[in-house]
Amino acid sequence: MILDNPKDLSQNFYSYLLNKSRSNREHRVLILCATDVDAVCAVKILLHLFNCDYILYSLTICSNFTDCIKAVKPVRETVRSIVMINCGAAEDVYGRLKANKDARYFILDSRLPVHLHNLYSGKAVRVLRKVDASEIPAFDSVFSQEEDEPPKKRARTDSSVNGDDDDTMSQSSEMSGSSQVENIRERREKERKKAEWEVNRKIIESNYYKNVSYEDSSAMKMFELAHLISKDDHNLFFWAIIGLCDMFVQRKISSSEFVKKSIALQGHVIRLTHNVDVENRQAFRITYGQDLALRFYRQWTIFDSMCSTPYTASIFRTWETKGHQKLHELLADMGFPLSQCKQTFSAMDYEIKENMVEWFKEQAAQWNLPDLISSGTFLASYGFNQKFQINDIALGLHACLTLSDTSSPEENVHEALEILSKEDFKRIEYALRLGRDQLSIFRNIVQSAFEERLFVGMNTYLQVCLDNISSTGNKFTGRPEALIPLALFLQQTYVVRARGNKVSKVPFVLVAELQPPSDDPDNDWVYFVGLPGHDNINSGVTNFMGRAFREAAGRVKIDIEQWSFDEYTIRTRKKNKITFLDALILIFSLPSSGAV
Amino acid sequence: MRALIGPKENQASQVYYRTLWWTDVQRPSLKMYGRRATDLIRGLDRAAENSIPPYNGETVRAVCEEIKDIFEANQQDTGRLQSQADTSSHQNILHSIHFRHIAMERNKRCLVAYHYNRAERLRSIRWNLGGIIPREIRSTLSEKEVEWFNSYNTELTNYMMELDGLNLTVHQRPPKEHFIHVRVLLDYGDYETEDGETIHLKKYTRHVLPRTECEHLIRQGVLEHVHV
């Protein structure tokens, strides 16, 4: 069951939970939350709504679907409602979580495609998102009709009954003989049709599940719900925008999609900020406008930020001395004093700060750097404090979620939930610092990857193998979750210069070993992250790497394991690494794989 | 003491106290009206606040007797009024009837105040100490009081059941939030709440639980209070 329009969302999701908890005080909603920024923001909004209406809940953090199964297992008999945030759309939740029959599942996931069982399991599973009806295979084409079976059986019993009667009634035996032949023919026909249908189904299913894509941030969806039931405020809006920006900075949605969605939000921006008291020291404002597309420059120096933003880093090759010189040249052209651009942003001259965007805009045109200025960015400010780019906040939160000096990823999620506490900008500054530090660690890794020539450009895909990266990046690269932003960074720095070339269109594979070599079988993993071609991401295209990985593993018969909710993130044992990579090359070189 | 009985103490009764005094002096054998009732109140007033002194059944009975006597005397006088044709002595009789009536009212008032205040104290015991009366307090109660306590207990329980088993006696003032958000700090396993719901407390999960249930778990370090 699909709940796509907001009214459905409020009636069949929120009001349903509300009525359940009003009528039964022991009704407790189990929330399963994934470990990404969008999910954290969505949970934050949902918890706010639940708190307003006294809906009881239990929240469990899950890093992958095995965690979800583990979380549901102890409460299998008692749980009545399960809300899954950014997890579960790609799995058959009803079949795999196996909660009791009365349980209702609400899946709020930005991923596509949604598992067909979830779409066709009636009221038990409710998918809270828009699903393009034309892309969903028809029910008959993917599920065999149960009605087929009974007539067949009846035909068989009929014939056997007739067979028994053969000895006594010769006349009827003739009749039954002919009908038997007919029956057999009918059966053959049916079997043939069934086999045909089976082949057809496989094709339809493989086409349907081929690509992973993202749409609609979950946090945004929750905000829409809050708006519909008139419980929205600027904090909820702030969280929703962080969710949306996270989708953008993780390149889950294309920039054009992001711009489209942000423009659609202008009404909310005006509505929620028009009566903010400007003189108030505590006033919290969200604005939308043009800004530099440099990461963390408001908390850093302009120069460092330009060295670490993947786009500028790649254009200028800032890891080389030559690149540094070129960057200096640009800044000098702009009339930017060196002392100012190596100064923390907050301490820079007011005049320069005011005119900076204009200067950069002029230079961007001259130096042909179209992506240096982002046409629309959300900015948050708190009282007279400096402004924050919400994109940076999303990156900072992501850094916080990938920290490895805490005891587990779940702890990181709780930390992130705390960071998003209402109007507490001290914590947000902490997250921004984390993001900034992570970015500089990534920059160092990229630099060493270039120096050691780790980029292996195959004809059909690009690959980087990193060994034991946890030693290079201390707490920022100790967890596999950090590999996704790292992969994005690596791909972007390599590819941006080669825009338009073939290399910018081929998919990218990051192979990484997190731990130093050891005999411990638990740490004996190699992690793979597959990204589609860089130019493809920008036009909002989808990720087929999960399927490529599966196919490669199937060919050489090695076990791979999905370590997150995304199927393009897998891991395998170290001993299988070489075989798997060979198989991957083979898969990509096949013309029929559809990879390129 | 006045607080227990209430402020109604008009001038007329003051006058009659004085008259009473005078009668007492005239006929020492006659007890002063209302003294026993006042003793009752005084006894209650002297006891520490919120403690219940032993039920003074004897005095209560004596006061009741007194009321009965006064009533009978008044009835006699009323009979006399009706039978006497001579209206000159009527005024005196009317005065004494009025006086006795006030004395009777006074006694009644004291009795009611005595019982009411005891019941109030008993009620606060129910809210503070729970549904079972401690043995030492039970011995100080009268039979009717125990009966009242039991029926009050039943009524209160029924009322709380209507509110889905909400325990009203826990908070002196309504709490701002009945449920609090907690985060589990260590693997605790299944925890059964008072209303029979089982909650699986696993590390790194977050729950909404009744405040009263969590307090001791927070003290044990199993849970941590978080804000939404």
* Domain extent listing, chain B: 2-162, 179-225
pLDDT at position A30 = 94
Q: Which two tokens stand for residue A587?
A: 């898969």
**Most A-contacting residue of B182, B203, B205, B224 (CB-CB within 10 A), to test interface:** B205
| Among chain B residues, CA nearest to A414 | B204
A chain contacts of residue B181, beta-carbon cutoff 8 Å: 47, 51
Q: How far apart are CA A33 and CA A64, in angstroms?
A: 10
Q: What is the dihedral of CA A276, A282, A284, A287, to 10 degrees?
A: 80
Read off the pLDDT band of A232 (50, 70, 90): confident
pLDDT at position A124 = 86
Token pair 């908890």 is found at A21
pLDDT at position A538 = 57
* Contact predicate A445/A466, CB 8 Å: yes
Q: How far apart are CA A384 and CA A378, in angstroms?
A: 17
Q: How far apart are CA A221 and CA A111, in angstroms?
A: 13
Q: How far apart are CA A572 and CA A117, in angstroms?
A: 28
Q: How many CB pairs under 8 A join A and B?
A: 57
Is beta strand A111-112 parallel, antiparallel or unpaired with respect to A81-85?
A: unpaired
How far does Cα A394 stand from its chain's mean position? 13
Judged against a pLDDT cut of 80, whether residue A76 lies above it is answered with yes
Q: Which two tokens stand for residue B5?
A: 């009985």
* Contact predicate A33/A87, CB 8 Å: yes
Q: How far apart are CA B78 and CA B187, in angstroms?
A: 84
Q: What is the mean pLDDT of residues A423-438?
A: 87
- The angle formed by the CA atoms of residues B119, B122 and B128, to the nearest 5 degrees, is 145
Q: How far apart are CA B187 and CA B201, in angstroms?
A: 6
Read off the pLDDT band of A347 (50, 70, 90): confident
Read off the pLDDT band of A23 (50, 70, 90): confident
pLDDT tens digits for range A551-582: 899 989 988 888 888 888 999 888 888 899 88
User: Do residue B197 and residue A26 have CB atoms under 8 angstroms apart?
Assistant: yes
| Among chain A residues, CA nearest to B225 | A418
Residues A487, A493, A498, A499, CA torsion sign: positive
| Among chain A residues, CA nearest to B178 | A54
A chain contacts of residue B183, beta-carbon cutoff 8 Å: 414
Q: How far apart are CA B165 and CA B178, in angstroms?
A: 13
CA contacts within 13 A on the Cβ side of A153: 5
Q: What is the mean pLDDT of residues A182-194?
A: 91
Judged against a pLDDT cut of 90, whether residue A330 lies above it is answered with no
Judged against a pLDDT cut of 70, whether residue A148 lies above it is answered with no
User: Do residue B199 and residue A28 have CB atoms under 8 angstroms apart?
Assistant: yes
User: Do residue A410 and residue B203 have CB atoms under 8 angstroms apart?
Assistant: yes
List the alpha helices (DSSP H) in A166-301. 170-208, 218-228, 234-249, 255-264, 266-273
pLDDT at position A340 = 84
Q: Does B181 touch chain A (CB under 8 A)?
A: yes
Over pLDDT 70: what percentage of chain A? 88
Residue with more model confidence, A194 or B88 = A194
Residue with more model confidence, A433 or A406 = A433
User: Do residue B195 and residue A57 have CB atoms under 8 angstroms apart?
Assistant: no
Q: Does A459 touch chain B (CB under 8 A)?
A: no
Nearest CA-CA distance, residue A412 and chain B, Å = 10
Nearest by CB to B228, from A51, A71, A78: name it: A51
Q: What is the ipTM score, two decimals?
A: 0.80
Is beta strand A462-466 parallel, antiparallel or unpaired with respect to B198-201?
A: unpaired
Read off the pLDDT band of A433 (50, 70, 90): very high
pLDDT at position A167 = 45
* Contact predicate A265/A256, CB 8 Å: no
Q: How far apart are CA A269 and CA A121, in angstroms?
A: 38
B chain contacts of residue A75, beta-carbon cutoff 8 Å: 200
Nearest CA-CA distance, residue A43 and chain B, Å = 10
User: Do residue A51 and residue B203 have CB atoms under 8 angstroms apart?
Assistant: no
How many other CB atoms sit within 10 Å of the CB of residue A155? 18
Give A213: exposed, middle or buried? Use CB within 10 Å, 0-12, 13-18, 19+.
middle
Q: Which two tokens stand for residue A294?
A: 């440099």
CA contacts within 13 A on the Cβ side of A595: 27
User: Do residue B181 and residue A51 have CB atoms under 8 angstroms apart?
Assistant: yes
Largest CA distance in chain B: 98
Q: Which two tokens stand for residue B17?
A: 């106290």
Read off the pLDDT band of A161 (50, 70, 90): very low
Q: How far apart are the first and last CA of chain A?
A: 34
Residue type, A516: P
| Among chain A residues, CA nearest to B163 | A25
Q: What is the mean pLDDT of residues A246-256?
A: 87
How far does Cα B86 stand from its chain's mean position? 49
Nearest by CB to B204, from A28, A74, A408: name it: A408
Q: Does B108 touch chain A (CB under 8 A)?
A: no
| Among chain B residues, CA nearest to A61 | B205
Q: Does A48 touch chain B (CB under 8 A)?
A: yes
pLDDT at position A174 = 57
A chain contacts of residue B179, beta-carbon cutoff 8 Å: 54, 56
Q: How far apart are CA A287 and CA A294, in angstroms?
A: 18
A chain contacts of residue B164, beta-carbon cutoff 8 Å: 25
Q: What CATH code is assigned to B2-162?
A: 1.20.58.1030
Q: Does A100 touch chain B (CB under 8 A)?
A: no
Judged against a pLDDT cut of 60, whether residue A173 lies above it is answered with no
Q: How far apart are CA A579 and CA A346, in angstroms?
A: 52
What pLDDT tens digit does each residue of chain B (228 aa) get?
555 555 444 444 444 444 454 444 444 445 688 888 998 999 999 988 878 899 999 999 999 999 999 999 999 989 888 888 777 778 888 888 999 999 999 999 999 999 999 999 999 888 888 888 888 888 889 999 999 999 999 999 899 888 877 777 776 677 777 788 999 998 888 888 877 788 889 888 999 988 888 888 888 888 998 887
Read off the pLDDT band of A277 (50, 70, 90): low
Which of A157-161, A271-275, A438-442, B8-12 is the most confident on average? A438-442
Q: What is the dihedral of CA A14, A15, A16, A21, to 10 degrees?
A: 90
Judged against a pLDDT cut of 80, whether residue A473 lies above it is answered with no
Residue type, A492: Q
Mean pLDDT in chain A? 83
A chain contacts of residue B198, beta-carbon cutoff 8 Å: 78
The residues, any chain, with a CB within 8 Å of residue A256's CB and separated by 6 or more, are A539, A540
B chain contacts of residue A50, beta-carbon cutoff 8 Å: 208
Token pair 């933003």 is found at A309
Q: How far apart are the first and last CA of chain B?
A: 52
Q: What phi, psi does A506 have (nearest 5°)?
A: -85, 155
Q: Distances in Å between the alpha carbon of B8 and those of A107, B15, B63?
A: 70, 14, 20
Which DSSP state fits A74?
A: G
Contacts 24+ apart (CB under 8 A), B58-66: B60/B111, B60/B114, B62/B36, B63/B36, B63/B37, B63/B107, B63/B110, B63/B111, B64/B111, B66/B31, B66/B33, B66/B36, B66/B37, B66/B107
Tell me the residues of chain A between 60 and 99 that have a Cβ less than 8 Å away from chain B.
Answer: 60-61, 71, 74-75, 78
Q: Does B227 touch chain A (CB under 8 A)?
A: yes
Phi and psi based region of residue A430 (left: phi greater than 0; alpha: psi -120 to 50; beta: remaining): alpha
Residue type, A1: M
Tell me the residues of chain A between 421 and 440 that have a Cβ less than 8 Å away from chain B.
Answer: 421
CA contacts within 13 A on the Cβ side of A110: 28
Read off the pLDDT band of A83 (50, 70, 90): very high
Nearest CA-CA distance, residue A271 and chain B, Å = 24
Judged against a pLDDT cut of 70, whether residue A168 lies above it is answered with no
Q: What phi, psi does A238 have (nearest 5°)?
A: -60, -45
pLDDT at position B63 = 92
